Amino acid sequence: MSSFFVRIALMFFCATGIALAQAPQRAEPVLGVGDVVKITVYQNPDLSVDARVSETGQVNFPLIGAVKIGGLSVSQAQALIEKMLRDGGFVLKPQVTIQTVQIRSSQVSILGQVAKPGRFPIEIVGSKVSEMIAAAGGVVPGGADVVTLVGNRDGKPVKLDIDLPLILQNGRADLDVTVENGDIIYVDRAPSFYMYGEVQRPGQLRLERSMTLMQALAQAGGLTARGTERGIRVHRKDAAGAVNILELKMNDPVLRDDVIYVKESIF
């Protein structure tokens, strides 16, 4: 291998090591009632077992009987079973591995504009926001495209906005957040605007992404025979809550809660 490729390889491994060192360590999930785990002991296939954590936080394991793992992390539960196997003289140097198959003790609350709001177990480790929304029956008509997640990560409160169309239609799976126990997912009503005056369908209408004034008029069914595009007025609140009256061009954007008035032609 040439010295050039050796240098490239060294740079890659150094960069990888730095990235791993800087990556935040996520807290291990804590095992709880209803969780399903697969426990294996290296080079001891007869000791492999699938078990559900009982109401008392215990699982039954060959040779050592009931083991209380509820409230322990995976690594703590592994160490406990290793100690019990070693202290009992069953395995000289046990190497125990616990895999979480289902985590029913961890739950997420899903509120707002979904078909079945409520509390849902995180049955599969690593479940994403989109999967939990699907478990709740999906977003109902009139629900927002962007949902909000409130929870805790690394001991700190977080609030995240998750753009479902960007994930599902554009393939941005990297934006689909992994849910954790205690998360709350809220689906708000879709943003809207108001159109009145000389249009075919006045009233409250759904605001689509990047909607222009021309598109807003089209969504209201267009002008009536007496309506005119000249002199359309938009009533818009600023950050302080004061209402400003604006005259927009047809390609200008419409914003959430805008009130649009279409005048009658004087001719």
Confidence of residue 191 (pLDDT cuts 50, 70, 90): very high
Cα–Cα nearest to 127, from 22, 29, 24: 29
Structural domains in the chain? Answer: 36-102 (3.30.1950.10), 107-187 (3.10.560.10), 192-262 (3.10.560.10)
Confidence of residue 104 (pLDDT cuts 50, 70, 90): confident
Spatial contact of 262 and 228, defined as CB atoms under 8 Å apart: yes
Between the alpha carbon of residue 23 and those of residues 19, 127, 223, the distances in Å are 6, 21, 56
Q: Does residue 4 register a pLDDT over 60?
A: no
Classify the phi-psi angles of 188: left when phi > 0, otherwise alpha if psi is within -120 to 50, otherwise beta.
Answer: beta
pLDDT at 178: 92
DSSP-assigned beta bridge partners for residue 261: 196, 233
Beta strands in 103-242 (DSSP E): 107-112, 118-121, 146-153, 156-163, 184-187, 192-197, 203-206, 233-237
Task: Tell me the pLDDT of the chain averaged across its residues.
Answer: 87
pLDDT at 100: 86
Ranked by mean pLDDT, the top range of 4-13, 86-95, 222-231 is 86-95
- Placement of tokens 């478990």 in the chain: 135
**Residue 243 in tokens:** 């209402």
Q: Does residue 193 register a pLDDT over 80?
A: yes
Q: Which residues contact 169 (CB under 8 A, 6 or more apart)?
A: none
Global pTM? 0.64
DSSP structural state of residue 238: -
Q: CA 81, CA 93: separation in Å to the nearest integer?
A: 12
Q: Does residue 5 register a pLDDT over 60?
A: no
Three-state DSSP string of 61-100: ECCCEEEECCCCEHHHHHHHHHHHHHHCCCCCCCCEEEEE
